[in-house]
Amino acid sequence: MSGFVLYSPAAPGSPEAVSLDAAQAVRRPFTQVAVVMHREHIDNRWQPWRWSLSEIIPHEDGFGTQPRLLLKDDQEERWLHPGFTVELFTDDTEGYHLNLTTDHPCFWVVWRMEEEPAISDECIAVPQTVTLSYTDAGRWLDAQESVEQVPAPVEVLSWMQAFVDQHHVLELKRRKRPDSFKSLQDRFGNPARVSTEKIRGASHG
**pTM for the whole structure:** 0.78
The more confidently predicted of residues 26 and 56 is: 56
Domain-located, residue 188: no
- The CA distance from 81 to 65, in Å, is 8
Domain-located, residue 166: yes
Q: Provide the number of structural domains found in the chain.
A: 1
Domain-located, residue 197: no
Domain-located, residue 179: no
Domain extent, residue 139, equals 6-19+29-170
Alpha helix locations (H) across the chain?
A: 15-19, 93-100, 134-142, 154-167
Asked if residue 105 lies in contact with residue 99, where contact means CB atoms within 8 angstroms, the answer is yes
> Among 133, 131, 128, 124, which residue's Cα sits nearest to residue 145?
128
Tell me the torsion sign for CA atoms 160, 165, 171, 173: positive
Task: Say yes or no to pLDDT of 101 above 70.
Answer: yes
Up-side HSE of residue 152: CA atoms within 13 Å toward CB? Answer: 28
DSSP code of residue 42: -
Domain-located, residue 145: yes
Q: What is the mean pLDDT of residues 148-154?
A: 97
In this prediction, residue 18 carries a pLDDT of 46
- The CA distance from 168 to 51, in Å, is 36
Q: Which residues of 101-120 are buried (b: 16+ CB within 10 A; e: fewer)?
A: eeeebbbbbbbebeeeeeee
Asked if residue 137 lies in contact with residue 148, where contact means CB atoms within 8 angstroms, the answer is no
In this prediction, residue 196 carries a pLDDT of 47
Domain-located, residue 175: no
Assign residue 70 a region: left if phi > 0, alpha if psi is -120 to 50, beta otherwise?
Answer: alpha
pLDDT interval class at 199 (50, 70, 90): very low
Strands of the chain, DSSP E: 6-7, 30-41, 49-58, 68-72, 76-87, 106-113, 125-131, 146-151
Domain-located, residue 133: yes
Q: What is the mean pLDDT of residues 114-124?
A: 94
In this prediction, residue 1 carries a pLDDT of 43
Give percent of the chain above pLDDT 70: 74
Cβ-Cβ contacts under 8 Å for 126 (sequence gap 6 or more): 37, 67, 81, 111, 112, 113, 114, 119
Adjacent-strand bridge partners of 79 = 37, 69
pLDDT in tens, 180-192: 555 545 545 555 5
Asked if residue 103 lies in contact with residue 82, where contact means CB atoms within 8 angstroms, the answer is no
